[in-house]
Structure 1
Amino acid sequence: MMEIATDLGDHDARTFGKKHPNGQTPGQTDIRDNPSSCLESNMIDPERPQFWLPGAPAEFEAVSKGRGYRWADSQNMHSMSFTIAPPNSPVCIPHDSNGPSLTTGSSRHQGGIHVLMGDGAVKFVTDSIEAGNQRNPVVHNGGTVANKNVPGAKSPYGLWGALGTRASKETIDAEF
């Protein structure tokens, strides 16, 4: 379990979705095949890297669909997080928040997020945690051995990915 920052309506890339420039179905495939596709699509403001660029090619999500707005809606964008992109990375949505969005933990703390571990310990995980190959396709049915993304494969997202993986029984021996 990890914390997420609630959207403030300021187009913060960690809390508010911007539609993938390729649309719904191609966007879903792009995100699955390259989790960094939203970062690479020139939608992030270079002057303010935690915010979306105003007037970027893709439209913004509806105001009511920011992180934390509809926490009981059971959609990825609203309340779920994955250990793919490192903490405080931008959210990546294919079309709207009801789709298979790529989300991670976020906070307003400087440099990281709080994570609740299975044994009840609370850890502060830094944004710079080792997160493997951010361009590796996500693990899914239809993945390939060459891409290291077949179901049950070790997470390609490094220590951060291992923290959220159970299928391949990854263990972490060091303190982080």
Structure 2
Amino acid sequence: MKRHEFEHIIAAAANVLGHDVFVVIGSQAILGAVPDPPEELLVSMEADLYPLLDPARAIDVEGALGDGSQFAKAFGYYAHGVGPETAKAPLGWQDRLVRVDIPPRVGSTRAPVALCLEPHDLVLAKLVRGGARDIDYAATAVQAGLVDVTVLRCRVVDLQVDPAIVEIVGARVSVLAGPAADGPDVNRRA
């Protein structure tokens, strides 16, 4: 999904629900902070979102703009209604959301806004989920320099998930950091 498609979904959701502000927590949240990220981060054709002031109405987004809807059939991308509990991001993620003001659409009086997970919070949420595609997503974000491994390490302890999962995520961050991030190899000869 490209940035203009992302903006289209947010604008359409605003028109359907009569709400202007949406929180975006899935893969496409990267488009908030990085308008043109690596292609590998744009594979998903769904935007996971909910209206900030009425999260329960996310189900209405799903019906009108979700997978299988006329919208999805016409454009090839769609909205997936979720709730705030879906974000398995570190404590304080709501305070770090990245604001994207969506350009007004012709014929609409709405002023849509997307509040997107900040990239470090997004990558940690992906690592909590832990699927192969999620880990690949995180690795691409690290390799592209979109996130700082030091920040990831600092926020791991703020994840609001089972302590065993926190430990797994910490190990995944260490793997993403690579051996250079663990300090110099004192046994290596120059």
What TM-score comes out, normalization by structure 1 length? 0.27
Q: Which has the larger share of helix? A: 2
What TM-score comes out, normalization by structure 2 length? 0.26
